[in-house]
């Protein structure tokens, strides 16, 4: 027996066949399709989503006490500085996990390489005029060669191909580079991101894939993995339509909901790495109503260069070590 969807396909096929035979009706059918397409585009364009401010586009500030661990004293983008204290804690956690895992004999050079890698990845440099942002990751593929293969692979599979290098404008918004993602929703047609975050959607998608695999090994439920996926995918920053602010559709309660449903072992690990209070509070944060096509929204097909994406990179490695 044909399903309703099969019947509908057959119905459309019959209409199309009839229109091909009758020349005048063919023109009417094309007009009908064009009109429906325009209506659908208008409907999507007129849909608004709520986003929350992470700060102004080109704001930079001193790295502060978070730079002590890395030995840095320069200015970093304000959106990264917002998470800098937690990121410094995360670095110590990952180094500790490497040091104290009896299954992975890690030498001092490996720990130093990983520390330097994380410091350079977490804290890109603003110039004195706050006009550019520079990543100091050089020879990424050589980092960690003294580490066990599983550690080397865990970092490089997610990082080296997608973490940016070089100098970018701090006040310019551009379309994301990615044209296809496997887990996170493809960026909407008119969405723009800060130029120095142009690689983020691909890094985000890769990190989400790794985190999904790790959570499955921790026996997290499918619905819980989906929550975590939607949180990670939706928290990605993008530009406001006037290109003055960095926005996100992610918020604190979404973060709490995603973490609370995880199995105890995974929840304990991730709560050490992710501080939900650093995300916008949906009640008190500055809100923006953004056209759907101009936003990067929470969503996934099946789970800073945002700090949360860096969290997921570190979290996936920690969960890998726990398995």
In angstroms, the CA 142 to CA 193 distance is 29
206 dihedral zone (left: phi>0; alpha: psi -120 to 50; beta): alpha
Residue-wise pLDDT for 170-220, tens only, equals 999 999 876 667 888 888 889 999 999 888 777 778 778 878 888 888 888
Residue-wise pLDDT for 97-113, tens only, equals 777 777 777 888 888 88
Domain boundaries, the chain: 50-322
134, β-bridge pairs: 125, 167
- pTM, 2 dp: 0.72
Residue-wise pLDDT for 29-74, tens only, equals 444 445 445 544 544 445 899 999 999 999 999 998 878 888 889 9
Mean pLDDT of the chain: 75
Task: Please indicate whether residue 64 or residue 76 has the higher confidence score (pLDDT).
Answer: 76
CB 232 within 8 A of CB 309: yes
Task: For the chain, give percent helix, strand, coil, nearest 5.
Answer: 50, 15, 35
Specify which of 58-72, 261-275, 289-303 reaches the highest per-range mean pLDDT.
58-72
Instruction: Pick the closest to residue 120 from 155, 82, 172 (CA basis).
Output: 155
Query: Would you tell me the crossing angle of helices 149-158 and 108-122 to the nearest 10 degrees?
Result: 10
CB 259 within 8 A of CB 230: no
pLDDT at 101: 75
């Amino acid at each position: 027996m044909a399903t309703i969807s099969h019947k509908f396909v057959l119905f459309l096929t019959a209409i199309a066949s009839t229109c091909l035979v009758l020349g005048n009706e063919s023109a009417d059918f094309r007009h009908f399709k064009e009109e429906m397409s325009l209506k659908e585009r208008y409907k999507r364009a007129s849909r608004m989503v709520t986003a929350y401010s992470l700060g102004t586009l080109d704001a930079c500030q001193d790295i502060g006490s978070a730079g002590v661990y890395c030995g840095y004293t320069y200015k970093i983008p304000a959106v990264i500085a917002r998470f800098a204290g937690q990121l410094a804690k995360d670095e110590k956690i990952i180094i500790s996990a490497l040091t104290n895992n009896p299954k992975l004999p890690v030498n001092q050079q490996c720990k130093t390489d990983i520390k330097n890698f994380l410091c350079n990845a977490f804290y890109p440099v603003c110039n004195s005029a706050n006009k550019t942002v520079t990543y100091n990751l050089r020879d990424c593929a050589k980092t960690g060669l003294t580490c066990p293969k599983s550690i080397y692979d865990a970092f490089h599979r997610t990082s080296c191909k997608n973490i940016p290098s070089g100098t970018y404008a701090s006040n310019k918004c551009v379309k994301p580079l990615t044209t296809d993602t496997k887990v996170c929703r493809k960026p909407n047609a008119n969405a723009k991101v800060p130029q120095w975050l142009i690689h983020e959607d691909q890094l985000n998608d890769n990190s989400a894939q790794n985190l999904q695999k790790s959570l499955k090994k921790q026996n997290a439920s499918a619905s819980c993995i989906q929550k975590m996926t939607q949180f990670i995918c939706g928290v990605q920053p993008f530009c406001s339509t006037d290109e003055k602010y960095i926005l996100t559709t992610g918020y604190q309660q979404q973060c709490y909901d995603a973490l609370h449903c995880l199995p105890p072992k995974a929840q304990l690990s991730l709560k050490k790495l992710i501080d939900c209070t650093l995300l916008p509070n949906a009640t008190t944060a500055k809100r923006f109503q953004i056209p759907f096509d101009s936003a990067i929204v929470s969503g996934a097909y099946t789970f800073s260069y945002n700090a949360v994406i860096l969290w997921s990179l570190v979290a996936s490695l920690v969960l890998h070590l726990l398995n």
